[in-house]
Amino acid sequence: MGEGWHNNHHAFPRSAFHGMRWWQIDISAYVIRMLEAVELVKNVYRVPVHVLAEKAVK
């Protein structure tokens, strides 16, 4: 459900979130964040901001 952002998946394959920009809707990420908020999942990997900035197309 965020799999439409396939290029983001290849850039950051370990990331739980593939909608990297505010406008990239990623339903799976919303579900993961909700589960994390109620402490049903933990150790969710997020791409560090500086790494994301390095790979950003300008």
Q: In this structure, are residues 11 and 55 in contact, taking their beta carbons and an 8 Å threshold?
A: yes
pLDDT in tens, 16-27: 998 888 888 899
Q: State how far the Cα of 6 lies from the Cα of 9, in Å rounded to an integer.
A: 5
Domain residue limits, the chain: 6-55
Percent with pLDDT over 90 in the chain: 36
The reported pLDDT for the residue numbered 18 is: 87
Give the mean model confidence (pLDDT) for residues 28-34: 94
The answer, as to whether pTM is greater than 0.85, is: no
pLDDT at 2: 52
